[in-house]
Each structure stands twice: as structure tokens, then as C-alpha cells.
Structure 1
Amino acid sequence: MNASRRVALVAGETSGDLLAGLLLKGLKGRWPDLSAVGIGGAAMAKQGFEAWWSSDKLAVRGYVEVLRHYREIAGIRTQLRERLLQERPDAFIGVDAPDFNLDLESSLRSAGVKTVHFICPSIWAWRPERVEKIRRSADHVLCIFPFEPELLARHEIAATYVGHPIASVIPLVPDRLAARRALGIEGEGPVVAILPGSRRSEVQYLARRFFDAAVLMRSRRPGLRFVVPAVPALREVIEAHSRDAGLQDVLIVQGRSHEVLAACDVTLIASGTATLEAALFKRPMVIAYNMHWLSWIIMRRKQLQPWVGLPNILSSDFVVPELLQDAATPAALAEATLAWLDSPQRVAALEERFTQLHHLLQRDTARLATDAIEKVLAG
């Protein structure tokens, strides 16, 4: 790759923006004059990324929810495809967001643009039919879990295990007291982190349940403190849900999810990438999810494993509770979250298990990914 190389990237939500930002930092560390364009967010912008659209535009989950925004999202993809085919970057890197990126990658690849997909779609968990689309779409797949390259090789898809970038960012031994000081949380006593998601649809279905659960928890333990990291675009919505639930003195901060996870004793958290981050912070958690009933029925039919949360999937066990759809009642959420605070031995065993997982996922991701991308460009 020479100084004039130009790549395009698409990251579809907050977690994808974070991963893409870490990847861009590695790429620009080796090739300082690299230019990058496409769809992204704040973490990518810090690396000099030129966003033609914000990643917030793609932050939609669930079949019904996607249908509501389909026309706008499809229009963005069409415009992006046409612009990339005109400007022809040296490579396109789709970061997660497989429903958006794989079709785009397929079109670009058929036109001669090199394509890389960063984060293997979870074909081992659900929607195994995606493997054929991956084979058509990606010249190479960058995998964040160690078992994925072998799985893809069975389908003649080139792939490289690069580790999970977040595992190199999060310290093996997080400093809880330093995080609390940074957030202005003073004194002793347990802190509960509430993470209702980074998408508007997630917050819509989960935030009130989480805050109602928090009210129940505080009624049983008046000294409990709650802290919520809010995506900037959703902060007002989250604050409104907190007020409507009657939750007093909750600390809502803009972003800063890593500090919040480091500071807490337990987290009530939406299923998604954040659950893996919580595991890397060695924090006990209760994973919850709720969505439109039709989206739920469709998803359940395509599910291949009994677990939904990444910590449980990677452990092949229910190491943390999952309360999904109708089971995610405020009372059940409160009960499961408080149970961690009463079980120090259970927490210690979980911390040991999560430490082993951290070591497994910790690799020099930027270097390994950059090496793989360079080989794709040279091929």
C-alpha cells in the first residue's frame, strides 16, 4: 500500500464505529497518508475519516424496525454504491452491519473493487444461509473469534483471526476506583450500570423496563446508585424514560460506557456487543432484550444456539442470566441483578472465567488486520 491509497468503510452503529476507529488507527499508523471515506461516526472521525453519512443512519435492529426505515437505508446504499464505483477506492471494508454491507460488497467486488468484511457474521449462532452471501461478497473476512476462520474455510472463504480490538483497549485489571472518581461517583456502596442499548429501537423497548427494575432495586436497597451511559443522540430519550419511571438521582453521562462498566459492580445490559465489553471489564451482568413481537418470532426461528449474549455464546454456557422478550419483566430484571450483589463467590468465579476469555481474544488486532488487508490489495 503506498501513500496515495484510498479506502472506503461503512460502520453501522456505535460499536461498529468504535471497531472501525481502532482499525483506522492501525492502518494510519502504518500508512499515515491513507485516506478513508464512507459511513462512520465519532471514533472514525478522530482518525481523519470523511463521513458521507453518519453511522446513526444505519443503527436499526429488528425486522419490523428495519422495514420502517428501509427506503431511506436502501437509498443511502444505492447512492454510496454509485459514488464508490465512480471514485473506485483501492479497497472497501465493511465493518459489521452485514445486512447493509454484504450486498454492497457483492456489487463492488463484481465491479473489481477489493472487499474485506470485518467481523464475521454470526453464522454459527443464527442465519447460516448467510455463508453463501459472504462467499460472494468478501475477498477476505477479518474474524474476531478464534473458531471462525476454520468454519469459513469449510466454505472456501479466506479469513484471518485478528482477535477482538476491544480486548486490547480494556485493561486486564480495570481500576474501579479510578473510574468512579472520573465519573464523580463518591463514597462506598454498590453501583449498578444500566445500558439499554445504542439504537433508538433498543431504547424504545428496553429503557423503561430497565428503569422500572432500578426503582424496584432501590426500594429493596436504598443505597444503590445507578449510572447510565447514553449515546448523545438518545440522551434526552433516556432521560425522559428515567423521569417517567420515577427514578431519582440516576447519573446519566454522555458516552463513556467503558468508564461506566469499569466503575460498576453489576450491569443490567441490552444484548449486543456491549455485553462482551462488560465481560472484558470482568463485571457480572444480566442480559436482556425485547423487540417487536414479529421480529422476535422471526429471530427465534433462525436461532441455532440456546444463548443470545456473547459472553454465554463464547463460554458455551449460561454464565450470566438472559431475560428475553416476555421474560424481561422489571421484577425479574431486578431480582437477577440484585442476586449478583449477594453472591461474592459466584462473582469471583465469573471474573476468573472472563479473564481467561480476555486472554483468548487479546491479539495485535491492528497489525494482523493491516497485514491481511495488504495481502488482499496485493492479490
Structure 2
Amino acid sequence: MAKKIFLIACEASADLHGAHLIHQLQKLLPESDFCGLGGAQMQTAGVRIFHDLTRISALGLGDVLRNYLTYRKIFHDTIRLIQKEKPDILITIDSPAFNLRLAKKISKTVPIFYFISPQLWAWGKRRIHIIKNHVREMLVILPFEKDFYEKEGVSAKFVGHPLLDSIPELPSASSLRKKIGIPEGKKAIGLFSGSREKEVRRILPLMLKSAELIQKEMPDTVFFLSRSPNVRAEVYLEVLKKSPITCATPDAPFYELVKSMDFALVTSGTATLETALIGTPFFLLYKTGALTYFLGKRLVKVPYLGLVNLLLGDKVVPEFIQRDAAPEAIAREAKALLSNPEIQMRMKDAFQRVREKLGERGASERAAEEIFRYLSQKQ
């Protein structure tokens, strides 16, 4: 059964999840043609990429406005491409600002399956009518999302979280520490400043200042910076040279670096959930533009920013957001955690509960099976 499948992934994390989904679809539909919008991961998986939005993904309202003409051109070209390619199905992945607007324009042309739901449960139900009217089925990755959509009359299937498939079985922390070169008796602290240049420029200086204060109080600490492949090396160098702190930048896979750390400072986003699933204690940090924060604060309907805290219904991971993201406060809380094994163990136990809530491995496989089932019935 040869089908044409059009996919849209606008950000790096969506590109990764899209690649995993494609690998599973290729097993079920080996002769099918995959095309769409995505990044390097999806291209490697065999997708004909028309535009790579992962290179210009926006952080906040200011970035969107600066790139408005580029987004507008790609948006209208995507409509033209879908009409030209005539796919059997359109699979949109996350990125509601682009994908929900597109759904309104194109749902009469092609059936839409939405993989990785917009967080409407956090932003209120203002856009639920778009999904109800234009999306054939939601393939959701959080257990409470299925009930949320079904109460609104939207077809939804919980497939599990794709990060459970993305994170490999890792060697022991002790062996990874030797591999990375962490000195015996030192407390290793990871700095995970995000996957976009704007994030790195805004949040890494905060992390480095916090690291400086931590090291003054705890001289046995050493610091390691994870560099995103989506951020130019010179951006990191520019920020690092302004800080007196010595910060290693090992050429180690992200997940291995996370597991080898005693503690981490992590920018809000997918990396926070990844860090929790690996089991490394961390704090969540987030800063954005003043206007973006003001608007977001008025719209967000949930008590926490971090998904770990939302899933647990409790502030297990300290969140340092906007004005509260002060180096002195971060350093003070970090010292308290690093000095108390009991606090660390409580956080690790909570992370295990998060893993249990997310279900079993195989999210991409279950999503692919649901798409295959629909395409089989469509014949």
C-alpha cells in the first residue's frame, strides 16, 4: 500500500519525534513517499524537505514579529505544496502557531492527524474549536490529554510519550563520569541552556553567574556545558568569555552528559523532562522578553511551567522564572540541595513517578499503527 504522507515539524524536538514516527511508518508502509517541512533528522529518515523551519524557530513574540515575512512566505508556500503533492494524509507535529492556522486553511484538502498536542489545557480552550472542526484525530502523549479532548468531542488516542523511546539505555553514572573526565570527589553540575541562540544568549549568562556563586560556597563543584547542534559555536564562546567561571564543554552525547551530572540547571522545555526521566536532580530556569512574558502570564491557566511539576501536581522541581531567576536565589537553593542527599533522593523518587505516568515505550510505534489503520480503511 503506497501512500504519500506530508509531515510538518517546525522545531528541533518535533523534527526528532517526526524522524522516529517516520521510521515506524516505513515499516508499515515501505513503498510510501514522505515529504514536508522538517529538519536534518527527518531528512536523514528519508523525507523530502521543502523548508527547514528548525533553523529559524522563534522564541517569544519578538522573534515571531522579526521573522514574520519569512514565516508568511513559507506558510503560503506550504499550502501550495500540499495542494500540488496531494498527500493521503497530513501529520502535524506540535507547533500550534503554525499548524493550527494551517489546519484551518487545508483540512478540506487533506485529512489531518495531529501528533503531540498543543497545550490547550495550559492556555485555555480558545482554540479547541479549530481542532474540533479541522483535525481528524489527536495522537496525544500525556495521559490526561485524552480525557481533555474527548470531553470536547475530539477524537484522541493516548500513544505514550516519545521521549521514552528517544532516551537509550545508558551506562552507569560512574562509568560515564570516567569517560567524560569528571575528577574523583567533585560535584559535577550541568548547564543546559537550550537549543536556540536566543535562549542561550538570554539564559546562559544567568547560569554562569549562578555557577560562580555556587562555586564560591562549594569549591568542590565543577561545571559542564552542553552545546546544542542548533546553536553556532561562536555564540557559546561569546558568552563564556564574559564569565570568570571555568566551564568544560565535552564532546559527549546529551543524554550521557545529563546522567553523569550530580545536578543541573536546565532551560524550560523538552530538556527538563529528559533530565527527569534520566534521573538527574535539576532546577528549571526560564527568561523571555518582557512583552512575551506579560502576555503569557495573562493567558496561562496552569500553576507550574515545568511538565514534571504539572504531571505530579506539585512543585517538586524549583522553578526560577523571569524576575525570580536571580543568581543569588538559584545558588542558595542549589547549595541546599547539593548538601542534602535526602532532598536529592526525594526528587529522584518523584522522577520515577513521572516515568510511570507516561506509560510504556513505543509511542511512535503506536502513533504509526493508528495512522496506518486510518490509511488502510481509506483505501
How does the TM-score come out when normalised to structure 1?
A: 0.93
Any conservation in 2 of the 1:171–1:281 contact (CA below 8 Å)? no
Residue of structure 2 aligned with 1:121, choices 111, 118, 124: 118
C-alpha distance in structure 2 between counterparts of 1:39 and 1:126, whole Å? 25
C-alpha distance in structure 2 between counterparts of 1:180 and 1:33, whole Å? 44
- Say whether 1:198 aligns with 2:189: no
What's the offset of the Cα at 1:174?
Answer: 6.4
1:155 equivalent in structure 2:
152
The 1:292–1:30 alpha-carbon spacing in structure 2 relative to 1, beyond 3 Å, is same
2:104 equivalent in structure 1:
106
The amino acid of 2:157's aligned partner reads T
What's the offset of the Cα at 1:186?
Answer: 4.7
Any conservation in 2 of the 1:58–1:73 contact (CA below 8 Å)? no
Structure 1: segments with no counterpart, 5+ residues: none
Alignment of 1:119-268 (within 5 A): 119-170=116-167, 175-234=172-231, 235-248=233-246, 250-253=247-250, 256-268=253-265
- Say whether 1:350 aligns with 2:347: yes
C-alpha distance in structure 2 between counterparts of 1:63 and 1:128, whole Å? 20
2:312 equivalent in structure 1:
315
Residues 115-135 of structure 1 show CA distances to partners (whole Å, capped at 9, x for unaligned) of 111111111112421212222
Residues 144-172 of structure 1 show CA distances to partners (whole Å, capped at 9, x for unaligned) of 11111111011111111010011133368
What's the offset of the Cα at 1:255?
Answer: 7.7
What's the offset of the Cα at 1:173?
Answer: 7.6
C-alpha distance in structure 1 between counterparts of 2:31 and 2:179, whole Å? 35
Any conservation in 1 of the 2:139–2:367 contact (CA below 8 Å)? yes
Residues 304-346 of structure 1 show CA distances to partners (whole Å, capped at 9, x for unaligned) of 1110011111111100100100110122222222322112112
Residues 222-255 of structure 1 show CA distances to partners (whole Å, capped at 9, x for unaligned) of 332222222224232122211112222x122568
Residues 336-379 of structure 1 show CA distances to partners (whole Å, capped at 9, x for unaligned) of 22322112112112212211221231332122101211233235
C-alpha distance in structure 2 between counterparts of 1:95 and 1:18, whole Å? 10
The amino acid of 2:95's aligned partner reads A
The amino acid of 1:152's aligned partner reads Y
Any conservation in 1 of the 2:25–2:372 contact (CA below 8 Å)? no
Any conservation in 2 of the 1:57–1:73 contact (CA below 8 Å)? no
The amino acid of 1:99's aligned partner reads A
How does the TM-score come out when normalised to structure 2?
A: 0.93
Any conservation in 2 of the 1:118–1:141 contact (CA below 8 Å)? yes
How many aligned positions are there? 375
Structure 2: segments with no counterpart, 5+ residues: none
The 1:90–1:28 alpha-carbon spacing in structure 2 relative to 1, beyond 3 Å, is same
The amino acid of 1:62's aligned partner reads G
Any conservation in 2 of the 1:119–1:144 contact (CA below 8 Å)? yes
What's the offset of the Cα at 1:72?
Answer: 0.8
